[in-house]
Amino acid sequence: MDTAAADRPSATYDRIGRGYSEIRRPDPRLNALIGQALEGACAVVNVGAGAGSYEPEDADVTAVDPSQVMLDQHPGAKKVRAGAEALPFPDGSFDAAMAVLTVHHWADLNRGLGEMRRVARRQVVFTWDPTHRPELWLLEEYLPEIRELDHARFTPVAEVADALDAHTVTPFPIPHDFTDGFQCAYWSRPEFYLDPVIRRASSTFAQLPPSVVEPAIARLRADLDSGAWHRRHADLVREQSMDYGYRLLIAGT
């Protein structure tokens, strides 16, 4: 195993991972989409598995993650501490390899995707497209620093699809009552961003200093108290779901 590659993304999750599973609760609609993509796979490796969200219940799953803190929260029996760039498995070990909101943490995206293709005949990747518009209001109105950070981490979906040789790219609009507390989950429930416990479950928030985050959250709190946020977003809160650029990619057979 490439220990250095394993340690780089683990640092953030060793810091934010405790209690992660309490906020990042799998959403049944996303679970159904990913489950459909993995249908028929008996042996699955979950690369960047974290606490095990969206793993198929009817498959033999091996969880891989560089963070021991995250693996300790994973309920599965097969857990391996490793980085995506050096999966410690023989060629063709699995029917499918899955990666959910993790590829932006990899030190070498192409190498990690290549490893997924090496060890499994099917690859399923859920990620976010930084080129998509509209973007979440939080970035434009309160924290443009998130935009800068995410655009530096995320690779455009078209490039990921090309590197993976994906044959299917499916949009996933985020429902207004989405249960998995990643960054865009609360697009119609802005009061949730005021909760520091929720912010700690987001790797983006965790990498920004309090001197940046706290004044922005104070402005959001003031806008919520005054009604200014709801006046600006009266049309938005009536929507049932919003496409903020999340995509499910499928490659292989």
- What is the DSSP secondary-structure string of 71-91? HHH---S-EEE--GGG--S-T
How many Cβ atoms from other residues are within 10 Å of residue 175's Cβ?
18
Please say if the pLDDT value at position 19 is more than 60: no
The model's pLDDT over 117-136, given as tens digits with 9 standing for 90+, comes to 999 999 999 999 999 999 99
Contact 106, 164 (CB under 8 A): no
Note the pLDDT of residue 17. 46
Please say if the pLDDT value at position 24 is more than 60: yes
Convert 139-167 to b/e letters by CB count within 10 Å (16 or more is b): bebbbebbbebbeebbbbbeebbebbebe
- What superfamily would CATH give domain 3-136+149-181+241-252? Vaccinia Virus protein VP39 (3.40.50.150)
Distance separating alpha carbons of residues 198 and 192, to the nearest angstrom:
7
Residue with tokens 């057979």: 253
Range in 57-66, 95-104, 194-203 with the lowest mean pLDDT:
194-203
How many Cβ atoms from other residues are within 10 Å of residue 115's Cβ?
24
Task: Find the mean pLDDT for residues 136-141.
Answer: 97
Task: Find the mean pLDDT for residues 207-234.
Answer: 97
User: What's the pTM value of the predicted model, to 2 decimals?
Assistant: 0.89
Residue with tokens 């991972």: 17
Please say if the pLDDT value at position 197 is more than 90: no
Q: Where are the alpha helices (DSSP H) in the chain?
A: 3-16, 20-23, 28-37, 68-73, 109-119, 137-141, 144-153, 157-164, 196-200, 203-207, 210-226, 228-232
Please give the radius of gyration of the chain, using alpha carbons only, rounded to the nearest integer: 18
